Amino acid sequence: EVQLVESGGGLVQPGGSLRLSCAASGFTFSSHWMSWVRQAPGKGLEWVANIKEDGSEKKYVDSVKGRFTISRDNAKNSLYLQMNSLRAEDTAVYYCARSTWSGHCFYWGQGTLVTVSS
């Protein structure tokens, strides 16, 4: 059974940093693209970033470029999202998803809440 478990969310002040993790199990992690998708409270879904199986390709939504970094450790079956220079508008539930190269998210985690506030 595919399982994705996010962790690392919490309350952070504007300008601060946070690192999200996603522990994957139940499939061959190193054979799949992975994505981060977020959802602000009461709002819709927003694609944030994705990463190729071997980490050689990474793409980001314009609003996080230069501030967020997606990475993975295939030996640990883990996906990460390093978030720097956080802003109030980054407040959201962040979902980790197993995806295809074209971006279809077949499996999702339960999400982790990030709140940026002073």
Residues that bind another protein (CB under 8 A): 35, 37, 44-47, 50, 57, 59-62, 95, 100, 102-106, 108-111
Question: Is the CB of 2 or the CB of 11 nearer to another protein?
Answer: 2
Question: Is the CB of 15 or the CB of 48 nearer to another protein?
Answer: 48
Smallest distance from the beta carbon of 32 to another protein, in angstroms? 14
Smallest distance from the beta carbon of 104 to another protein, in angstroms? 4
Question: Is the CB of 14 or the CB of 101 nearer to another protein?
Answer: 101
DSSP-derived secondary structure for 55-101: S--EEE-GGGTTTEEEEEETTTTEEEEEE-S--GGG-EEEEEEEE-T
Q: Where is 47: in which H helix or E strand?
A: strand 45-51
- 98, two tokens: 């197993």
